[in-house]
Homo-oligomer: A and B are copies of this chain.
Amino acid sequence: MSVGRETRLSAWIERFAAHFAEEGIPLIGGRILGYLLICQPVERTAAELSQELEASSGSISTNLKYLVNVGLVTKRTRRGRQAAEYRINEKAWTDFIQRKLTAIASVQTLTDDGMRLLSGDPERAMRLKTVDHLYGWLSAELPALWERRPASPK
């Protein structure tokens, strides 16, 4: 007996959420993201998400607030509708990834400060210098790479 399409999709959502949980995003937040990426229709209310993902209304609210805040999800209210509708904001993924890349490169300011503190002592600065060079290169190259990113497909 074969596994249903929806079953496999919810398994996928769970893997998706698990990945981002490792990066510090709450499990329920990751589930919302995964779900909103593949649901039909594209918009859902908080109540629907709560039911669909079997999470409390409170958790859904907290996580939606977070996701809207970082821009990955968009909230839309409509006249004549008491319930707000949420949907994925695909465009925001570029910013999301960019933040991760700059976070990595940002260590360079740290190593740089350290080098300055050790400026009178080249011997002692040797280990830091190795690390500083690497991060210096990264913080030059990553933004440059990012500029060459392709436009999204239509």
| Residues of A in contact with B (beta carbons under 8 Å apart) | 5, 8-9, 12, 15-16, 19, 23-24, 36-38, 40, 42, 88, 90-91, 93-94, 97, 100-101, 103-104, 106-107, 110, 113-114, 117-118, 121, 123-125, 127-131, 133-135, 137-138, 141-142, 145, 148-150, 152-153
CA gap between A114 and B141 in the complex, in Å: 31
Q: CA of A152 to CA of B104 in the docked complex: distance in angstroms?
A: 18
Which 4 A-B residue pairings sit nearest by Cβ, starting from the closest? Answer: A90-B130, A130-B152, A40-B124, A37-B128
- Residue of chain B at shortest CB distance from A15: B110
A101 to B134, CA, bound (A): 14
